[in-house]
Each structure stands twice: as C-alpha cells, then as structure tokens.
Structure 1
Amino acid sequence: MQKCFLVVVIFLSTFVANSQEDIVFYEASTEKKDSLKKKQFIKQLGNGFLPTKFLNFDLRYLIKFNQYEGIRTGIGGVTNDAFSKKYRINSYLVYGFKDHRFKYRIGGGFRVSSKTNTWINLSYTDDLYETGSSKFLTDKRFFQFFEPRLLNIDLFHKHITKAINIEHQLSNNLLTETELSISKIDPTYDYTFALKDKNFSNFDLSIAKLALQWNPFTTYTIDNNKKLVEQEGFPKFTLQVTQSFKNLLKGDFNFFKADFRTLYKLNYNKNSFTEATLTAGIATGNTPLTHLYHAYPNNITKETILQRFSVAGINSFETMYFNEFFSDRFTTLQLKHYIKPFKISKRFNPQLVLISRHALGDMHDIERHQNIEFGTLTKGYSEAGFELNKILFGFGLSFAYRYGAYHLPKEEDNVALKFTFNLSL
C-alpha cells in the first residue's frame, strides 16, 4: 500500500514541479486570443479543474467534510492534451483526519479511436463509497464548489476495486460505457447480510456494467477537432445495467440491477423554466445493502429545526432523514419551477424556486439485512417547498415540508429549513 501512495505522490509532485510556471496565462499576441484563453480557463475552472501545462488539477479532492472521515483533503488530477492526445493518467490521493486513513486511485487510459472517441481505462481504487447511492458511469463530470449532502453522510463502505473500462461514442447523441470490476467490500458500520447458507459482514463482488447516455435533441458542433454542445435539448435519457457474478473471480453473490434517469427542461424565457427529473431502479437476486437504493435523503437526526439547519442539496429530499429508508426497487420524481429573478438592484437579483418531490419504493427479504434498522417507501413519500436563491454571495434559503403517508407526529420533525448555495462561473 505504501508503494501505491509513493507512486501517486511522485506522479503528482512531478507535474506540480513541471507545471508551476504555466498556471499563469501566457501573454496573448492579440486581445481576441487573450479573451479566448480566459474563457477556456474559466470553463475549466467551472468544471472543477485548474489547468496547467500538462496536468489539470482536480478541485474535487482539495477539501471535503463528512461524518465518517471528518475533514478529507488531498490532491488529484488528469493529464491533458499537451501531455498526450492518445494517453492519459488520472489519479488522486486523499487523507481523512477522523478515520486516520489514506485513500487513493491510480488510473490511466489510452485512446484506440479518435473518430468514435473510444478509450480503454484501467484503475485501482482504495476509497469509501456511500451505501445505497447509485452513480451512472456516463456521469463523468459533476463538480460543485460545495457538496451539501456530503456534510451529513455517515453510512459508508470501504472498497478496494480493480476495474477496466471502455468508453465509446456510438453517435453524436449516444454515449456508451462498459466496465468490468472486482471489489472487496467492507462496511464501516455494523452490518450482516444473512443468506441461508452463510452470513456476510464483508464480501467480494465481480461486476459487469453497461451504461447508455442518449441525448436525442441536443445538437453539436466541431471546433478544432473537438465536439462541443451547440444547443442543449431535452429530454435526456440514461440507462445502466449491472450484473454481479457468483464464483467468478471469487465473487460472493449473483444479483442484477437496472437504473434509469430522464431529465426534462421546459424553458419559458432565459431565466424562467421548469425542470423535471425522473429516476428509477430495481435490484434482484442476493443484493447487499451497500448496493441497494436510498432516495437521496439530506436531513440529519437532531431534535429541533435549528439543530438540523444545514445546506440543501440539488436533487435531494430535504425532510427525509439519513438511513431512514432503503429499497430494492424505487422511483422518484422531482419538479422544480424557477421564477424569473427579482430585479431589486444591479447586483441583488434573488430567484424563487418552487419544489415538489415524491418517492415510492419497496424491498423484498428485508430480514436479510441485519444490525441496521430502516423503513420502506411503499406508501409513497412526498415533500414540497421553495428556495430563495442568490440572496448574498451565492447563498440563499430553503424551506421544505413533509406531508402525506410519512408525515411525522411531531410537527417540527416534518420541517426542513436550510441554506442554499448557487455559484456559477
């Protein structure tokens, strides 16, 4: 393990040394070139990268906080086209001050076809993953300067994963990604997955995944041999299927998962629009809790509203408590209506967002999951609320109310009052 740390540190340190002089923009010969370079820099920064000559530093790894690791800080990056257009290295190294443990990823890839942008990637990862969360392979970049849900998550599992991954652009509107991986899973909490023949507190998984990202109404343009979005179109569709194999490369379980998401946006004018996000997932077979579904909760278990005061997420249920529900099949619908910003002054333009969220789910064989208590969403979960964003320096306020079948007896337990944070470059 120490050798792996040393490899990552040497790799990143080398690029830091070689790239320090390139962080500052080179003086452009014309005002147009300088302006273009500045726009490219800001775009990279908005995507979570600090570009240098050979390496783009990944800002996601600089500093974070959660309930298990406490402060998590480190360094990471991916090589850019100046390093190579055919090869890339993508690695990181972080440290958790509460669990006193290093986590890292050593990875890289090579392009086998520029026409279809086909890449083969290899990686070795030793890190944490949130139990019950699902991520699509095709969601390559999702960067926030501040990740609000992460602050309150306490249910993680350790994983050591070796993976090979293939990215392939079938067409301008259809991206595919396939991954084969083997993982050692060790929950950080007291959990036993009980089957008839054996009880598991940790386990091995051999998994194959296939993801499809289809954006049929988005148009693209080619600039300097790079595909750029000309006009974003909706709806967008994402599908991912997962198969775990028992007795293949020491895998302990057979299970199958299918995950689906569609996004729709209806524009009324430049600043007024409605967004709808529909997600669904199903898991069959012997699926441990680590690979089942929560419903994006974002409320901590505290006594009063002010004690629960934190930061609202982007697509999370603000009144649903962490670890309150898990499902092996579920669906959620989230609706957001953005009202045109209030033009109070030149720099003070708060925006009101009306929100409605719903979730439905269930679970077979709930008794298999031992030493942990949770409910299901068979009756349907609902909350409604609003956000008043960009009141001051990107900060705003959020209010949400839990109603319907899972309305709680104590009235204030149904209320979530939080900050919002929205900053765009």
Structure 2
Amino acid sequence: MLKHCLLCIAIVCFNIINAQSSLKEETTVEQDSTKKAVFLKHLGNGYLPTKYFNFDLRYLIKFNQYEGIRTGIGGVTNKAFSESFRINAYSVYGFNDHRFKYSIGGGLKIAPKTNTWLNISYTDDVQETGSTKFLTDGRFFQFFEPRLLNIDLFHKHITKAVNLEHQLFNKLTSEVEFSVSKIEPTYSYSYNLNNTSLTKFRLTMAKASFQWSPFSSFNSENDYAETVVGYPKFSLQYSKSLRNAFNSDFSFSKIDFRALHRLFVTDNDSFSEITLVAGLANGNVPITHMYHAYPNNITKQTIMQRFSVAGLNSFETMYFNEFFSDKFTTFQFKHFLKPFDVYKRNNPQLVLITRFALGDMEQPEKHENINFNTLDKGYLESGFEINKLLFGFGLSFTYRYGAYHLPSFTDNVAFKFTFNITM
C-alpha cells in the first residue's frame, strides 16, 4: 500500500514538475514574442531601444544639397529611466558646410491623467526655407526622406523654446510653444523692412496647435497612443511673431489648416485618400516662413538628369524654389488600387494621383536677391505610381499641365522611382 502511495505521489510530482516546465517554456516563448513585437514597434518608429535610452535612427545618416552627407547620433530616455521625466538630445555633422548641429532638451510630466508635458529645448541647426510643421504632428519615421535629397534652400537657426503638450479631450490633442530664434539664411537674401535690408534677424514666436481625430480610438493608459486610426483627421495651428519682444524684428501671424480623409475603403489595400492643406500669413513675413507647396523637382535639362526619388505628398513636377506664397491651398487626391497578386513577397500596387495648388503674395518686392513666382493662376499635375515592384522600390510618372505648363514637353514630365517599405 505504501509503495502504491509513493508511486502515486511520484507520478503527481512528475506531472506537476513537467506542467511547470511546460508553462515556463510557454511563458518564456510568450515573453520573447512580446519583447520581439515591442522591439519591432520601436524599430518601425525609428528607435533602437536599450535599457534606459532609445537611440533615434533619424540622425544616423541623411543627405541634402546644402549639408551633403549629414550624420550623427541622438535619442531620448525611455520609461525604464523615468515615467515622469525625459531627456532628449542629438548631435550631427554636415560634410559640405563643415558644421556641427545639435539640440538638447527635457520634459516633465506634470499631469499624467491628461498626458501633460512641460518641455524645454535649445537647438542649433538648419531648416528648410518655406516649410511648415504642425506642433501636434506625431513622430513620422522613414528610412530615408525622398525630398530631403534635393533640397538646397536652408536657413540656420538657434532656437530656445518652452513647450506644453496637453490632451484636451480623448480625441483632441493640443500643444502650445513659445520660442526665441536667431535666423540666418544660408543663401543670398534680404528682407526690406521699412527701407532697411535685413540679411539676418530675430524672431519671437508664440504658437498654438490642435489635432482632432473624431473617429480614432486612443488608449488613455498608454499616453493616449492611437490604437485605431480613423478618418477624417483635422489639424489647426496659429502662430504669432511678436515684434520687439526679446529683440524680435518682425510682426506677423500665420494660420495653418490640414484635413486628411480616406474614402471608398473596400479593404485595407484599396482606398482613396484626400489631403487638403491651407495657409495664410499676414504682416511682414520673411521668405523663411513663407509657403512653398512642397516641390520636388530638380532644375536640370533632361528627364533622366531629374530622375530622383518621389516624395509622399510633394509636387513632383514643381521645381525647387520656383514658387513662394503668403497664402496658399493645396488639394491632393490619391486612389490606391488593390495590389496585383504577382509574386509572394512583392505585390505591386498602382496609385492614381492628381494635385492642385493655388496661392498668391501681397508684397513680393520686399524679398530681395531672390526670384520666384506665385501660384495665383493655379497649378496642376497628374500621374501615377507603381509601388513595391522590387524590394520596396517602384516607379512614378507625373505630368504638369494647365496655366503653368512649360513650353518644352519634357520640362513638364517627372519620371522617378518610389520607395515604400513597412515593418
């Protein structure tokens, strides 16, 4: 009897140990799978995560016409370091302009329930002239930025900024910023302000930005991360330059609006996308803070000399520095057809595209030593992309027509390759 009892106990113990071992293996596999998913998510967002610090892959290497090769290192502390405090910094070097650029900043979470952060930063870098960025724009990472390869018009800036991020409501994000900047164009330019030509200047800016995503879902327990992406999305930003505040040279205001919508969605791969962007600047606005409608065409003689990389939302036939406006509207329509089932790993996708831009400028004569047109007659281009032909690469063809059609047929054509890859 005792032997039978001991045998039963031994069998039970063996089963328990075996079950625990299996459970441990399953738990280990599940944990490894979770860690891998988290790692890939970080990598897809452009971060290489470590224990306390996430390295930012955006600063590793880039190229543009002014800096040439731009390389460096940067990143931000993660939640393992602190959930209520973060430090971010980067340092890069341009091999053409032979200059180091850098930024250092920090943030303090002052209200966890509303994901409210108070941030400060100091930045010494360059920025593309005529570009506009919404404060509330989420982080967007690309392995390389297509337009950046061909941009040659930059201005230097040293900016000190204090910034407040706040989740007003579940679907409404807000951000305000106060900054003081020293700005110096890297090209020959001056602004005629009251008969005084300014080649470098100071700007003191106050900005308020809002993003409303009424059909998206957010996780309030994870810093209001967007869990379900819904459309349409709306962004609105107001900027005010304060003259004489901290020796600021200009007084002007800007209001920017963007709407993004997807429709005719039959599945995740076939849909239409509409993007509407508008901006209005009023007052004495230097060219650095005007609008350029995101051109992406190099000024070269032949089509093949202009062969480069197509952007995501840029005007492919519009030449760099060809147009500037203090008021403008752009409309873009894309229709993504269902991918062709050709081979297993690469399914090419045809995208039909039409873009329209309209703009104007009140006093172009105040901008000296620079030549440009406005968009008052309306700019049109249409074309198509065949994406993901091989290893994420594809081809793009766009044609310029309408009021700004050029005399030579080939000057209206943009033939480029595309690059699309997801993780």
TM-score normalised by L of structure 1? 0.92
Indicate the residue corresponding to 1:261 in structure 2: 258
Q: Of 79, 82, 96, which aligns to 1:81? A: 79
In 1, the alpha carbon distance for the partners of 2:39 and 2:334 equals: 31
User: Residue by residue, what CA displacement relative to the aligned partner does 1:116-161 show, whole Å, maximum 9, x if unpaired?
Assistant: 0100000000000000000000113011001010000000000000
Once the two structures are superposed, the pairs formed by residues 54-133 of structure 1 within 5 Å of their partners are 54-133=52-131
- AA aligned to 1:216 is P
Quote how far apart the aligned CAs of 1:232 are: 1.5
Indicate the residue corresponding to 1:250 in structure 2: 247
Once the two structures are superposed, the pairs formed by residues 201-240 of structure 1 within 5 Å of their partners are 201-222=199-220, 225-240=222-237
Size of the aligned set, in residue pairs, is 398
In 2, the alpha carbon distance for the partners of 1:44 and 1:363 equals: 43
Gaps of at least 5 residues in structure 2 are: 1-24
In 1, the alpha carbon distance for the partners of 2:369 and 2:166 equals: 42
In 2, the alpha carbon distance for the partners of 1:341 and 1:38 equals: 28
Q: Of 324, 337, 340, which aligns to 1:339? A: 337
User: Residue by residue, what CA displacement relative to the aligned partner does 1:250-305 show, whole Å, maximum 9, x if unpaired?
Assistant: 00010000000010012121210111100000000011000010010000000000
In 1, the alpha carbon distance for the partners of 2:116 and 2:166 equals: 4
User: Residue by residue, what CA displacement relative to the aligned partner does 1:76-120 show, whole Å, maximum 9, x if unpaired?
Assistant: 000000000111001100000000000000111111010001000
Indicate the residue corresponding to 2:20 in structure 1: none
- AA aligned to 2:394 is G
- AA aligned to 1:253 is F
Do the aligned partners of 1:255 and 1:286 also contact (CA within 8 Å) in 2? yes
In 2, the alpha carbon distance for the partners of 1:336 and 1:375 equals: 27
In 1, the alpha carbon distance for the partners of 2:26 and 2:63 equals: 39
In 2, the alpha carbon distance for the partners of 1:30 and 1:41 equals: 16
Indicate the residue corresponding to 2:19 in structure 1: none
Do the aligned partners of 1:28 and 1:34 also contact (CA within 8 Å) in 2? no
SS in 2 for 1:143: coil
In 2, the alpha carbon distance for the partners of 1:230 and 1:270 equals: 16
Indicate the residue corresponding to 2:270 in structure 1: 272
Indicate the residue corresponding to 2:21 in structure 1: none
Indicate the residue corresponding to 2:370 in structure 1: 372
Quote how far apart the aligned CAs of 1:370 are: 0.6
Quote how far apart the aligned CAs of 1:185 are: 0.4
Quote how far apart the aligned CAs of 1:247 are: 0.6
SS in 1 for 2:107: strand
When Rg is computed on C-alpha atoms for both structures, the one with the higher figure is 2
Do the aligned partners of 2:303 and 2:414 also contact (CA within 8 Å) in 1? yes
SS in 2 for 1:34: helix
Indicate the residue corresponding to 1:190 in structure 2: 188
In 1, the alpha carbon distance for the partners of 2:75 and 2:44 equals: 15
Quote how far apart the aligned CAs of 1:29 are: 4.5
Q: Alignment RMSD, CA only?
A: 1.2
Indicate the residue corresponding to 1:298 in structure 2: 296
Quote how far apart the aligned CAs of 1:226 are: 4.7
- AA aligned to 1:238 is S
Quote how far apart the aligned CAs of 1:345 are: 1.9
Is the counterpart of residue 404 in structure 1 residue 402 in structure 2?
Answer: yes
TM-score normalised by L of structure 2? 0.93
Percent sequence identity is: 66
Indicate the residue corresponding to 2:8 in structure 1: none
- AA aligned to 1:297 is P
In 2, the alpha carbon distance for the partners of 1:348 and 1:161 equals: 44
In 2, the alpha carbon distance for the partners of 1:248 and 1:388 equals: 51
In 1, the alpha carbon distance for the partners of 2:72 and 2:338 equals: 39
Indicate the residue corresponding to 2:152 in structure 1: 154
Indicate the residue corresponding to 1:422 in structure 2: 420
Indicate the residue corresponding to 1:16 in structure 2: none
Quote how far apart the aligned CAs of 1:221 are: 3.7
In 2, the alpha carbon distance for the partners of 1:232 and 1:186 equals: 39
- AA aligned to 2:89 is S
Quote how far apart the aligned CAs of 1:339 are: 0.2
User: Residue by residue, what CA displacement relative to the aligned partner does 1:362-418 show, whole Å, maximum 9, x if unpaired?
Assistant: 001000001000000000000000000000000000000000000000000000000
